[in-house]
Amino acid sequence: MSFFATIGQHLYDDFVVEGRYMYILQGLGNTVVITIFALILGLALGVISSIINVFYANGKRGPLMRVLKVIVSIYITVIRGTPTVVQLMIMYFVILTSGSPLVIAILAFGINSGAYVSEVFRSGIQSVDYGQTEAGRSLGLSANQTMFKIVLPQAIKNVTPAIFNEFITLLKETSVSGYVGIQDLTKGGDIIRSITYDAFTPLLLVAGIYLVIVIGLTQIQHVVERRLQKSDRH
Amino acid sequence: MIVIKNLHKTFKTDDGDLEVLKGIDAEIKDGEKVAVIGPSGSGKSTFLRCMNLLETPTSGEVWFNGTQINVPGVNIDEIRAQMGMVFQHFNLFPHLTVKANITLAPVLLKRMTQQQADERAIELLKRVDLVEKADAYPSQLSGGQKQRIAIVRSLAMNPKMMLFDEPTSALDPEMIGEVLEVMKEVADQGMTMAVVTHEMKFARDVADRIFFLDGGHILEEGTPEQIFDAPKNPRLKDFLSKVL
Ligand SMILES: Nc1ncnc2c1ncn2[C@@H]1O[C@H](COP(=O)(O)OP(=O)(O)O)[C@@H](O)[C@H]1O
Ligand SMILES: [Mg+2]
């Protein structure tokens, strides 16, 4: 058989017979859902915890702030100090032993991502000139108003590249979802391999799909960055 | 308007404590314009920033309109809204247009609706001759234009008093005049002002009183004539001989 005939046969066996392409489509769907919701959760956790860190560093040290600061420190240390897949398994097998696996995965990946987003935002916020905060406060704005209306919008511009990086990392990290029985894109390809004993074609397709998504995200990143540079033109 | 009693400020630094203000008593009356002069590093900025508590005094009292403001329980945001501040480095918000810079605080603090604030912004911009820059971003402005906008941004809150911390020190020489002119206009309209400045001519022309700050104390205070024409303190004489 010629090379192309072999490929054709593989494609047919891997994706057409018994509607096996559905493993890929469903897997892709799960991967996208986990990534997007985990990203949203991670952004929320990351922004909140970074603001706690920054307020603490700026001298806000009431009793509540001290407690929050300790929680945030532990959170970031533990998450950055342990492998994502172990965190996912702990979430699935130890903490939330019942419930939708998809939701559990979103929680695990979101909490994980939040720790990295937090560090990104902390340095992003601290790279905004402190004179901006002073100008806001001198006008009578509260610390929170100054943070959300003046400092954060500028920080977001600074951190956009790093956040897209985190988005891309997160997308790829969800490929360990199979460890807790979730059929994501990677697992979908793997199931086909276990049926047809052809590893090459499904893995190549799976890799190609990740790659296409990442290239797409990178394009979006460029558009967003250009938009955010609007106020920098001279 | 402002009364300061026995004000001390010590900064904690890596090299130990640095006592910058060592017991300052001062008063600025309604409508009065006070210029603060003195050598670099003498604590002029610190003194000014203690008035709106951007720096927290280590001890002493700061009173604004009959209320002591450096005690717990005071809503400092409320006080600061009545005290504009203009900085050496302008500190305009780079992500906002000129108009949004001006309207942000009045609208957020519910002093005005967006529409009222927009109208007020345009009116103020006309006064400083920058109305055509309303939709520009700060990065598109010259230093002198930025500082005029910063003054307008403070004025938009209708403050009772304005603090200026070396507002022309970061400007190219040819832009100093346009900013001083705006400040003069603000002064002429009766604003209470405290101005840290190296512009001695401005201090002489506009100030009612001048504080000479050195070594953590107000070493001499008086009218421009007393300070410039008949200085008594040797450190003041020495300082004036260098700057005049
Ligand atoms: N936040 C701070 N931390 C430590 N030292 C400071 C701080 N702010 C000012 N200083 C020091 O206090 C002294 C007076 O500063 P400043 O008030 O800015 O003087 P001036 O405005 O008269 O030049 C300087 O020696 C300066 O280095
Ligand atoms: Mg200074």
Q: How confident is the model at residue A2 (pLDDT cuts 50, 70, 90)?
A: low
Residue A233 has pLDDT above 80, yes or no: no
Between the alpha carbon of residue A215 and those of residues A37, A186, A204, A227, the distances in Å are 20, 18, 16, 19
Question: Residue ranges per domain, chain A?
Answer: 16-233
Distance CA B30, CA B193 (A): 9
What global pTM score does this model have? 0.87
Predicted pLDDT at B177: 95
**Could you identify the atom of ligand 1 that is nearest to the CA of residue B46?**
17
B69 domain residue, yes or no: yes
Give the pLDDT means over successive 10-residue stretches in chain B (244 positions). Answer: 96 93 96 96 96 96 96 95 97 96 97 96 96 96 97 97 97 95 96 96 96 96 96 96 89
Question: Which residue type does A100 have?
Answer: S
Nearest alpha-carbon partner for B160 in B74, B31, B66, B61: B31
CA triplet A40, A210, A98: central angle to 5 degrees? 50
Closest CA to B182 of B220, B112, B230, B130: B130
CB contact under 8 A, A153 and B52: no
What's the CATH code, domain A16-233? 1.10.3720.10
**Average pLDDT over chain A, rounded to whole?**
92
Across the interface, whether the CB atoms of B54 and A134 are under 8 A apart is answered: yes
pLDDT per residue over A9-28, tens digit each?
877 777 777 877 888 999 99
Tell me the chain A residues in contact with residue B54 when contact means C-beta distances shorter than 8 Å: 134, 137-138
Q: What b-and-e string marks burial along A160-191, b requiring 16 or more CB atoms within 10 Å of the CB?
A: bebbbbbbbebbebbbbbbebebbbbbbbbbb
Residue A109's identity, in one-letter code, is F
Out of A8-17, A114-123, A164-173, B1-10, pick the least confident. Answer: A8-17
Nearest CA, atom 10, ligand 1: B11
B191 part of a folded domain: yes
Please report the beta strands in chain B, taking only residues with DSSP state E, as ranges in sequence order: 2-13, 16-28, 33-37, 59-64, 67-68, 83-86, 161-165, 192-196, 209-214, 217-222
> Is B244 within the bounds of a domain?
no
Q: Round to whole Å and give the CA distance between A187 and A204.
A: 13
Cβ of residue B197 lying under 6 Å from some atom of ligand 1: no
CB atoms within 10 A of CB B144: 22
Residue B174 resides in a domain: yes
Distances (CA, A) of B209 to B49, B61, B85, B205, B223: 19, 21, 19, 11, 4
CA of A147 vs chain B CAs: smallest distance (Å):
12
Binary contact (B104, A139; C-beta < 8 A): yes
Query: Which of the listed residues B9, B11, B53, B88 should we mutate to test ligand 1's pocket, taking the one with most ligand atoms within 8 A of CB?
Result: B11
The CATH number of residue B149's host domain is 3.40.50.300
Q: Which of A59-68, A143-152, B194-203 has the lowest mean pLDDT?
A: A59-68
Task: Determine the Cα–Cα distance for residues A152 and A126; give it in Å rounded to an integer.
Answer: 10
Q: Which of B46, B197, B235 for mutating ligand 1's site (highest number of atoms within 8 Å of CB)?
A: B46
Binding-face residues of B in 93-122 toward A, CB within 8 A = 93-96, 104-105, 108-109
Mean pLDDT throughout A25-44? 96
The pLDDT value recorded for residue A152 is: 94
Range of B75's domain?
1-239
Instruction: Provide the domain count of chain B.
Output: 1
User: Residue A15 has what pLDDT?
Assistant: 74
Residues A184-230 pLDDT 10s? 999 998 998 888 898 888 999 999 999 999 999 999 999 999 888 87
Query: Among residues A230, A216, A182, which one has the least CA distance to residue A85?
Result: A182
Q: How many CA atoms lie within 13 A of B225 on its CB side?
A: 0
SS3 at position B3 = strand
The answer to whether residues B157 and B86 touch, using CB atoms and an 8 Å cutoff, is: no
pLDDT at A234 over 70: no
Distance in angstroms (rounded) separating the CA atoms of residues A62 and A55 = 11
B106 and B84 Cβ atoms separated by less than 8 Å: no
